Structure 1
């Protein structure tokens, strides 16, 4: 029987009726096509997508090289389960990734489907390799929503509320971010690092012995926590501490990897930095479900044969997409475009921060590469009131209002964090013209909220 024809409104209602209530959405629009940074909805709207599927379609929707590779792979081999035999795209992808690892010690890979699953694999590996039960994570961290990964997530309680008890043995310390440390946003990086190091030291003095800790998990730029870059001195401190106490340092590059921050991986910004285990996903395959972990042979050798696996782990079509993505990175100056467009983006955000008209709305501009954020002031958060004259009116829900205005003008942006923050995460192939258009819309949106109050 032919499929029933539905209007956009009917499709949206169908989704509300039959898609799990637990799945939230920004809008009930139905997207039917994507091309580059443009998406098209079933009701005929063309929108400029500055979300990239939350950092997934780094080369834009339906990149021609990725599409061709996938079409070719579908015609030759769709699936070979990884516990039965190798398949060529799996090995070819490793071949492409080996030369771009942030440290040469990272030379053994395992592919899975999602970031959460990769976190689970890293947890298993860290505990097995060290024989220790506990892990340390940071306030604001987002590592997933499954039971293991969800136990490591500290960005919002909604992801695990009313579903406990979660995996035990997880300890939390302050991320080097002014909100986590209770200091104003103007606090120097040196002082923020000092305070975060002190909190970590107190954790090991009072809550858990280092000899019982298998790993420290950290995002080099927190994602759901607010697009907060971790200062290099703190990352280096973690490396020294882990080496001293036999703790594994696990770097979650799920959102930061594959040129999102201007380098292949965010930790490339720190000269000679060595993760013990690195987690990747999202941008690796431009929209096809693929994730994984990488470590060195010594650590990986501690695993029992058969302890890792999964029906669709390292699927042939997803791996072929991943190979095509790496080939584009190798042949085009994606990093150069990221850095040029990031400068354009930050200049627009700094202008909002510094303008007398909109400065009373802006708490901070921050980010790394095309992983950028603007945090707005909040009426009930005194830390964000720094620099304001007493009695200055701060509008409520600034970020949500800005987001809605942008959508009405054809620009899709996302909020993030438990604080009032909008993040910018466009495809890395965004053009100068597209960035200019987006920033004009966004500037108008912030000015509109300033006018409305």
Structure 2
């Protein structure tokens, strides 16, 4: 089958091959690179490699490029901040940092859903945000234990790694992780662990059983959960589950932490995914899309909690960096100004296209998601929904060769996370490339 018009060379091209060879000599091999894309530049949803091949980016730097590549408003904000100063440590104050704190306080789900004031701690990444949330939970409760969920991904530093369980390879070779973490199943209606039961209710009952037999609830500082599970397969929980967690936490004086590093900042069509269910956390973590590509993260908590931190209880050098804060301020303005709404509208169109595609391909077991956080789970054509892992890998690889950048998650789910600025025309173009990729993966062409 001929290559699409925008792919001008064999992939990887000669310049890409040369750079990959240079990289192999000096960069850690631990990065989980799926296919040989070597980027030159990008605009919006489009990216080009160093050999001039053009692609649609439906991975967006793992849901980071919320406003698309090189959005003029973000770039202008970064340039203006850089003209003033590049860094002053978090020992001091500056306008970009305070402005970002004010924006985060306005959009925080504890404020929008429960009317509670919020405060933020700024950092550089999602894993650091999770670490900060865990430290805050232990600090204010005086309790040592936590509940996490199988399939969750919360980062790779040692505290967050203790919760990460989307693949065993992430913990392999790094034992022992932080103690005090107990994992429970994440409710997955498509792959039920509890036969004949409401999966959300069954998981809540499982936690109650743990509290009775194994984990004293009076020792649990917090429950850490993704409102929509990311690396675990873009799994959307059943109705009532997050509200049930909230009630369970309130019953036992446990804090509820929502990890919205991937699902937050407009990704699901709302500023935070938890807003779909009207459930407010005590603490929420943010990163990825917050800075449109610049490294920034945030721990956002109820003010009554974060205000308990004493001077020096937690800190960092780069938190509140003016360049990253400027990017985040511009990003939030764009997302609140229309891109979250666009994610909901265009995401609905995308979901409808994928459901139509599923009628033609029995290997598509389920399409699920919210907004522009969408998973397409591929299965063997049997009665047991057996994950089609090899097929998933082939589809992602073929899509790359056809000019569409994708990533997988879970055991056999293709995930779609384009910039929130993506258009319906770009969705339609991507669907054409995806259909071709499925055909090629299934036939081996």
Alignment of 1:322-361 (within 5 A): 322-331=328-337, 333-355=338-360, 358-359=361-362, 361=363
| In structure 2, C-alpha distance between the alignment counterparts of 1:7 and 1:376, rounded to whole Å | 34
Provide the residue aligned with 2:282 in structure 1: 276
Name which of 399, 416, 425 aligns with 1:424.
416
1:145 paired with 2:123, answer no
Provide the residue aligned with 2:372 in structure 1: 370
Provide the residue aligned with 1:3 in structure 2: none
1:106 and 1:294 in contact (8 A); partners too: no
The alpha-carbon deviation at position 447 of structure 1 amounts to 3.1
Gaps of 5+ in 2: 1-13
The alpha-carbon deviation at position 226 of structure 1 amounts to 0.4
1:183 and 1:383 in contact (8 A); partners too: no
Alignment of 1:5-44 (within 5 A): 7-44=15-52
Residues 120-144 of structure 1 deviation map (CA, whole Å, 9 limit, x = unaligned): 1011000011100000001100000
2:16 and 2:36 in contact (8 A); partners too: no
The alpha-carbon deviation at position 395 of structure 1 amounts to 6.6
Name which of 307, 311, 318 aligns with 1:305.
311
1:81 paired with 2:73, answer no
RMSD: 2.0
1:197 paired with 2:207, answer no
2:35 and 2:400 in contact (8 A); partners too: no
2:294 and 2:327 in contact (8 A); partners too: yes
Residues 426-448 of structure 1 deviation map (CA, whole Å, 9 limit, x = unaligned): 00110111100001111222233
Residues 226-260 of structure 1 deviation map (CA, whole Å, 9 limit, x = unaligned): 00112340100111111110000001110111110
Corresponding residue SS for 2:155:
coil
Alignment of 1:41-52 (within 5 A): 41-52=49-60
User: Relative to structure 1, is the Cα distance of residues 148 and 370 closer, same or farther in structure 2, using a 3 angstrom cutoff?
Assistant: same
Provide the residue aligned with 1:411 in structure 2: 404
Corresponding residue SS for 1:47:
strand
Provide the residue aligned with 2:273 in structure 1: 266
Q: Report the TM-score, using the length of structure 2 for normalisation.
A: 0.92
| In structure 2, C-alpha distance between the alignment counterparts of 1:291 and 1:164, rounded to whole Å | 26
Provide the residue aligned with 1:389 in structure 2: none
Alignment of 1:65-214 (within 5 A): 65-83=73-91, 85-104=92-111, 105-178=116-189, 181-182=192-193, 191-214=198-221
1:281 and 1:290 in contact (8 A); partners too: yes
| In structure 1, C-alpha distance between the alignment counterparts of 2:332 and 2:364, rounded to whole Å | 37
Once superposed, which parts of structure 1, at least 4 consecutive aligned residues long, lie more than 6 Å away? none
The alpha-carbon deviation at position 270 of structure 1 amounts to 2.0
The alpha-carbon deviation at position 61 of structure 1 amounts to 0.4
1:121 and 1:293 in contact (8 A); partners too: yes
| In structure 2, C-alpha distance between the alignment counterparts of 1:116 and 1:253, rounded to whole Å | 11
1:174 and 1:181 in contact (8 A); partners too: no
| In structure 2, C-alpha distance between the alignment counterparts of 1:311 and 1:395, rounded to whole Å | 45
Gaps of 5+ in 1: 1-5, 386-393
| In structure 2, C-alpha distance between the alignment counterparts of 1:268 and 1:445, rounded to whole Å | 35
Number of residue-to-residue matches in the alignment = 428
| In structure 2, C-alpha distance between the alignment counterparts of 1:95 and 1:396, rounded to whole Å | 44
1:289 paired with 2:281, answer no
User: Relative to structure 1, is the Cα distance of residues 317 and 337 closer, same or farther in structure 2, using a 3 angstrom cutoff?
Assistant: same
1:373 and 1:422 in contact (8 A); partners too: yes
1:221 and 1:227 in contact (8 A); partners too: yes
Q: Report the TM-score, using the length of structure 1 for normalisation.
A: 0.90
